[in-house]
Amino acid sequence: MNLIIDGGNTFIKAYLFRQNGELKKNIRCAPEEMPALLTAFTQDENISAGIYSNVGSDQNEIYSELKKDFPFLVQLTRQTKLPFQLNYDTPETLGLDRLALAAGLQKHASTAMAVDCGSCITYEVLVNDVYQGGAISPGLQMRLKSMHTFTAGLPHVEDLNMQSFPAKSTRKCMTTGTINAVLHEINGFIDTFTALHQSAEVILTGGDAKYLADALKKRTFANPFLTAEGLNKILNDQI
């Protein structure tokens, strides 16, 4: 059994993968809750290997604490051996989450694009098992918060339910503008990518994917565990 721990900007997630790559179970919690929950999560499980990845600034401190209870745990860094090649001008700045997504794509195809809808929306492109980079733009909540923060009259809106266009209230206009702008953006990247690679797959993932999946192009497949699967693949390459 492999233990996968993925620390994001808001939550830490843990996964258990069987040796055949099948996901057995997973949890998500705030960073301060993880130590206690992880003990119960892994109880009576035969875990032989694990990997820890965190995009936060306190990743080394959290890793040191986790290592006390899970001595077999390895940490994903930019020096970790990867199952694909990099074609990227500044690999020293490349986010660990983006590396994990690229590895996750390999489960689907050697040429594919991941669209990760989280705090930011990231696009990761893999062509013949070579990572080619992608794009980064603000996520749904970031766009809504920026409209409230940088204007005098627009409210703080958290509702991300799709609204019809034209919307009939300021709050609904903000939601409609945000979601539809993101949909047009993602569909535009899909068109650009598939024009170059007609048979390639596009995988949608991330916490906000549920607000977008049904309205995107039919060639898009949803996989909420793409990052975890990528981390599991990277771990298996270390064993």
- C-alpha dihedral sign at 175, 217, 28, 62: negative
Contacts of 48 (CB under 8 A, 6+ apart): 1, 2, 72
Could you tell me the two tokens for 131? 């990572």
Cα–Cα distance for residue pair 25/18, rounded to 1 Å: 10
Contacts of 191 (CB under 8 A, 6+ apart): none
**β-bridge pairing 12-17 and 23-29:** antiparallel
- Please say if 97 is a catalytic residue: yes
23-to-1, 47, 58, 225, 232 alpha-carbon distances in Å: 10, 13, 27, 9, 10
Where are any strands of DSSP class E within 155-234?
Answer: 201-205, 220-222
* CB count in 10 Å sphere of residue 36: 10
Query: Which residue is catalytic, options 97, 116, 129, 159?
Result: 97
**Long-range contact set of residues 91-97: C-beta below 8 Å, sequence gap at least 24:** 95/55, 95/122, 96/53, 96/54, 96/55, 97/6, 97/8, 97/53, 97/55, 97/122, 97/227
Cis peptide before 83 (omega within 30 of 0): no
Among all residues, which ones are annotated catalytic?
Answer: 97
